[in-house]
Copies of this chain bind each other. A is one copy, B any other.
Amino acid sequence: MFSKACEYGIRASIYIALQSLESRRVSLKEIAEEINSPVAFTAKILQLLSKNNIVDSVKGAHGGFEISRTQIDKLKLSEIVNAIDGNTIYEGCGLGLKECNAEKPCPVHDKFVSIRNDLRQMLENTSLYEMTTGLEMGVTFLKR
């Protein structure tokens, strides 16, 4: 579904949001440990997320990553996915045709439309905050 980079990016964003809710700025090292991802690769992804204003980065000693409370509420899963993988999952033809639309559809165009719409709606309606809620209570998990 998503690339590895995107999976790490989503998990990292959720972990940063969770800690930001408690006013804790977190380091790359801590993030990678808590989401069980390769440190240096995660660093690259966080750079990308920072450039796309998904997370805020603070350089220097006592630096790290954080997300403002307003952003945690506003940010949708779709924005994280878009920053890393683009919109090819819920745009673009299921059979890889460049030109595929209602006028010139591939043989499975209609079948894919509804599923991709559902996917897009889910991604656009799921907020970062929403994804943190189960974690605090130990109902959901970010590793293993």
Contact = CB atoms under 8 A, between A and B. Distances in A.
Interface of A: 1-2, 4, 7-8, 10-11, 14, 77, 89, 94-100, 104-109, 111-112, 114-115, 118-119, 122, 126, 131-132, 134-135, 139-144
A100 to B, nearest CB: 8
A140 to B, nearest CB: 5
Contacts of A119: 115
Nearest to A88: B1
A142 B108 CA distance: 10
B106 A141 contact: yes
A95 B10 contact: yes
A10 B144 CA distance: 33
Contacts of A105: 134, 139-141
Nearest to A131: B107
Contacts of A135: 107
A134 B122 CA distance: 30
Nearest to A122: B111
